[in-house]
Structure 1
Amino acid sequence: MFGILRIGAYLVSGLTVWQFFQGDIGGMNGALHKALTLDPSHGMLLGVCAGVSNFTGIDVSLIRFIWALLAFYRGAGIALYILAFLIMPTYGQ
């Protein structure tokens, strides 16, 4: 359980650092200018999976399925979902 939470914390912190430093890297002029935000208008519960889907371009159903599998594995998905909800800003803010 601790290993899963640690991996999730590394992923969230890595995405946070990447978002912080996503300026004009290598002359790409904002090609990486997507923001990892909540999307409550398209979300089922709080908009975390919809926001991750918008950010990565992966289908939201696949992300919800993976998150549900993590929830059944010792509740790691529930903890990561709540953590992501607390960290991610709302779309448009």
Structure 2
Amino acid sequence: MIWLIRAGAYLFSGLTVWQFVQGAGTPDMAGIHKHLALDQAHGMVFGVCAGFSTYTGIDVTLIRLAWALSVLYRGAGLALYILAFLIMPVS
């Protein structure tokens, strides 16, 4: 159970650092009003990866590859995918 909490913390901190590096941390940027939400119009299963892609600006293929690799690593990706689907609002 502790690995799930650690994986979520790593994911959250990674997204925070990515947004800071991209410059969304400054108040004058237009990207500060983006919300993390499911993107079911562009999604393959539930729209979680498409939502992360829209939020971060990373290509959706890379995000899907990362999720697939994390599923192969002890099933952590599957648990995180379901958790993200339950938490993220629909856009």
TM-score (norm 1): 0.74
Overall identity of the aligned pairs, in % = 58
Q: What is residue 9 of structure 1 aligned with on the other side? A: 8
Distance in 2, Cα, partners of 1:29 & 1:57 = 14
Runs of 4+ residues deviating >6 angstroms: none
Distance in 2, Cα, partners of 1:32 & 1:47 = 22
When the two chains are superposed, the root-mean-square deviation of aligned CA atoms in Å is 2.4
Structure that is richer in helix per residue: 2
Distance in 2, Cα, partners of 1:74 & 1:90 = 28
Unaligned runs of 5+ in 2: 16-24
TM-score (norm 2): 0.76
Unaligned runs of 5+ in 1: 16-24
**Kindly tell me: are residues 68 and 27 of structure 1, through their superposed partners in 2, closer, same or farther at Cα, counting changes over 3 Å?**
closer
CA apart distance, 1:6: 2.4
Number of matched pairs: 81
Q: What is residue 18 of structure 1 aligned with on the other side? A: none
